[in-house]
Structure 1
Amino acid sequence: MLATIITEEQWQKLKSILLDLNVYDKPSLKKTFLGIIYRLKTGCQWRYLPSCYGKANTVFKAFRRWSATGLFYKLFKRLIQSADTEWVSIDATHIRAHQSSAGAVGGGDQSIAKSIGGNSSKIHLAVDAHGNPLEFLVGDGITHDIKIAPMLLQLLDLKDTEFLNADKGYDSEEFRNLAYSKVVRANIPRKKNARTSNSHMDWLIYQARHVVENTFANLKHYRALSSRYDKLLNSYISTVALACGLIWLKL
């Protein structure tokens, strides 16, 4: 079963980064890490991990320990190679929060909000011209995308970016001006009731915005991501970061 998760070549690439991030090279490191990927893919409860990955509690504790240090996010950023940032597209998607994600000890803001449809979170994502993830933020499910977009934009390195693609949900002069301040053309259509035209739009480039939708579709094949089971925000951020990293790992 271990061989079906990722290839040996991919594991060696992951291992070199993990060791560079000061992860101790235990004999069980591969089994533990592949157990975390197995849970990401299947969305199973930690206690039901197959025994080939070692003790379930050991794998869970490793995941929590590494999540607390931001290891998976650092791994994701290390895996990014030769990103094509001439066009960057951003969008957000709702994630339903399973009932088991509620009631985190200590409370605090875990980016889960209750709406008519139930508890939910949102993933705010930026991708390159090929749809490969560059940055993401996890927010609650009721905050409008445009309120999170400036924070997402600040995380991006846009020195080689010409266009920023986004849909009408990001129609905001303040947000456009933020993009222009970074010498990036905001390719964002105005809403139907706007008094100004869309003469600023490059519609051919805008058609490429579908890549961010494709990336969300790919990410949601990971069942631990498509439904949020993690109580703690840093655990779910690690889940999303690992899924994004695996997209780069396959390239």
Structure 2
Amino acid sequence: MAGEFWLSDRQWAAIEPLLPKNRPGARRVDDRRVISGIVHVLKVGCRWQDCPAVYGPPTTIYNRFHRWAARGLWQRLFAALVEVGPGDMQMIDSTTAKAHRSAAGGKGGRVRRRSAARGAAGRKIHAVVDRLGRPIAFRITPGQWGDMRAAHALIGSLPPALFMAADMAYDSDALRRFLAERGTTPVIPNNPTRKRLHPFNAKAYRQRNVIERMFGRLKDWRRIATRYDKLATNFAAAIFIAAIITWWIN
């Protein structure tokens, strides 16, 4: 069938050793086929029940995705595969994923309020990339969160880089101090309202476009460009899977 996705031998060789082994219960259906089915759904944006039969029963495809998301497995796979070391430059930014009506739950006030508490109105994807534009850290927050609210924890989870590039939304004295304490030079434009201007390396800042291209490729996955899942854990899992497939085992 045209458009089907299948893990290559190289991709499978990278993933397979990291999957759960010797779990109690019945033997799992072929992991390579099921994960290929999961990736297919996330890329093309179809409903889980419309997953092509070649991957196996749609309930198996969805249940594997959902259960492993709840256990944090996809995030651990990402962490195990990403090569993060002290680098010369990192970039931070965020993008918003709009929510499809299916992410807002059913009709009725109670269900709608519960969905809103889950952030069903939209999610914001915060990311840090290396100088090659490969994502090395993500944080998913409610859509109304500002960029600065997630920045310290996201950057602090990584080894310091020599430079951190970010747009004007990150022009904060607190963030600049935080970066300096880590030995990182901020590459952040000064807000026009600033009275005291900070040094700004415009040439280095031009490299920041790699994170914008990363977000563009990430949103080629239709279930990331538009959020269909009600659960934030499932949406985050889709982002980790996309990053693994697109940048780290390609």
What TM-score does the superposition give when structure 2 sets the normalisation length? 0.88
Q: Report the secondary structure of 1:32's partner residue.
A: helix
Letter in 2 for 1:16: P
Distance 2:4 2:45 in 1: 19
Greater mean deviation of Cα atoms: 162-171 or 178-187: 178-187
Q: Shift in Å at residue 81 of structure 1?
A: 3.0
Corresponding letter in the other structure for 2:194: A
- Count of aligned positions: 242
CA contact (8 A) 2:97 2:227 kept: yes
Normalised TM-score (structure 1): 0.88
Secondary structure, counterpart of 2:229 in structure 1: coil
After TM superposition, which residue ranges in structure 1, 4 or more long, deviate above 2 angstroms? 1-6, 19-27, 81-85, 103-112, 247-251
What displacement does 1:26 show? Answer: 3.3
Cα distance, 1:28–1:56 mapped onto 2, change above 3 Å: same
Change (3 A) 1:68 1:163: same
CA distance in 2, matches of 1:92, 1:182: 22
* Mapped partners of 1:162, 1:209: distance in 2: 14
Map 1:177-192 onto structure 2 (within 5 A): 177-192=177-192
Match of 1:54 in 2: 56
Structure 1 counterpart SS, 2:196: coil
- Deviation larger for 66-75 or 18-27: 18-27
**Matches of 1:32 and 1:174 in 2, distance apart?**
45
Superposed CA offset, 1:59-116 (max 9, x none) = 111111101110101111112136673101000001101111113879374234xxxx
8 A Cα contact 2:10 2:249, kept in partner: no
Measured against aligned partners, the alpha-carbon deviations of 1:3-62 in whole angstroms (never above 9, x if no partner) come to 743312212221122247979973521111111101111111101110011110111111
Q: Is the 8 A contact 2:4 2:40 kept in 1?
A: no
Unmatched tracts of structure 2, length 5 or more:
none
Give yes or no for contact 1:84–1:129 (8 Å, CA) kept in 2: no
- Matched residue SS, 1:135: strand
Could you tell me whether the CA contact under 8 Å between 2:84 and 2:159 is conserved in 1?
Answer: no
Whether contact under 8 Å (1:80, 1:248) holds in the other structure is no
| CA distance in structure 2 between the partners assigned to 1:82 and 1:64 by the alignment | 27
Alignment of 1:126-141 (within 5 A): 126-141=128-143
State, as a whole percentage, how many aligned pairs show the same letter.
Answer: 29
Q: Secondary structure at the match of 1:5?
A: coil
The equivalences for 1:1-251 within 5 A come to 4-19=5-20, 26-81=28-83, 85-103=87-105, 107=114, 109-112=117-120, 119-158=121-160, 161-198=161-198, 200-251=199-250
